[in-house]
Amino acid sequence: MIDQLTPDERAALRARIVGGARDIKPAGAHRGAWIAGSVAALLVVALAGGVAATTTLSAPPIANTPSPSPTATVAPVPTPTASQTPTPTAPPARIVAQPASRFSFGCADVAPFVASFFGGEVPEIASTIPRLTGNAWLPGPMQYSFEQAGALYCEFGELNGRSAEVSIVPDAEGVVEHHRAVLGDTCSAEFPCELIEGAFLSVVGTSDGEVGRTPEDDALSAVAASQIGDLIRASPPSASRWVPPTGSRALPGECATVLPPERLGPIVGIPGLKSVEDGWGGWSVQAWMLDGYWDAPLCHYYPASATNDLDTESVRVTWLPGGEWAFDAAVTGQPISATGGRTTDAARLSEGPLGGGTVYYADVLVDGNWVRVALPWSMTEGDRPAAVKSIAELVFEGVYG
């Protein structure tokens, strides 16, 4: 039948088939396959049957895949961090410094300058701390006050014979005014009225122990002082290196504050005590070292009814601020248990010779300070330990409350 069509009719039929195929627009990913299949089917039908058949082609259903729902982003819940406990700061390590001389020369270097007191022979060193001469305030804190200051202290010869004493104390501001206030304008080799490189120099000697000091001895002291002064100028004292024990405080410079007399009296068995800080018989460099240099007055306690401390039994008290460095070596007595102190404090019952007899002491170490109380001569052996305990606790109470 297709052969009966004229050439124009065949061309028109072909145009209709191709045009219809172009109008089919399948969707989705299979679009190209869907066009090719539709054109081939129509050509087969038209060419084979010669009849133009209209077929409605439906595009296959396309699965509508749902778009994935957006996933909610969940913020992580922070894990609570345990609060950091502050590390406690450790207290500074306790340091108890040992003092050292601030001079580059020693007693052996000054010995030749005092040879004139010994007939021209250079004497041997007898002591580098003050020796005891019968005064109850000398033993203990005063003896170590020079070394703590970095001073040079030298004794030569015998106490009751030919002897010489040389004291060189650095940073001695105030000493001249102090002894002038006591002695007036007296100036000598023993009591100089000027300092040398900031140091106080005292030279005392006697060439005949039986006679005692003479004007000739004073002249020898002046010559020796001049020569030793040149030594100091050539080698001035160095800077101080000693410091008090870590965290300690010096005791107040008042006797009645350290040991109230109204409370000390019942402890030592002497009622009605009063305290006096007016010096002990004039002026000396030894007394000034405690009272002037270290602000630790020489304390006398005796009954208020007495006209002076010589009329009755009394109590003598001295202390060395920061003297903990010397305590163990100097105090070898019986340890006494007392309350109210700290682990670094101590109390001891000690004894020592003095004036042909024996003196007993209450030695107390409190907050780095060394306190010494000379107990009354009349106190019995059985009463001493209890007295030392009570004195120590009284001192502890005054310092720590």
**Dihedral sign (CA 263, 267, 273, 274):** negative
Give dist(CA 348, CA 332) in Å, integer: 8
3-class state of residue 115 by DSSP: helix
Helices (H), 250-300: 255-258, 261-268, 285-288
Give dist(CA 323, CA 368) in Å, integer: 6
Residue scoring higher pLDDT (190 or 134): 190
**Dihedral sign (CA 165, 166, 169, 173):** positive
Res 212: pLDDT: 83
pLDDT at 239 over 60: yes
Residue scoring higher pLDDT (107 or 131): 107
Residue scoring higher pLDDT (188 or 47): 188
Phi and psi angles of residue 259, each rounded to the nearest 5 degrees, phi first:
-135, 95
Amino acid code (one letter) for 385: P
- Determine which of 40-44, 240-244, 329-333, 358-362 has the lowest per-residue pLDDT on average: 40-44
- Determine which of 101-115, 229-243, 289-303 has the lowest per-residue pLDDT on average: 289-303
Phi and psi angles of residue 359, each rounded to the nearest 5 degrees, phi first:
-110, 140
Res 17: pLDDT: 40
Which residue, 136, 362, 377, is CA-closest to 258? 362
**Number of CB atoms found within 10 A of residue 353's CB:** 10
Residue scoring higher pLDDT (148 or 28): 148
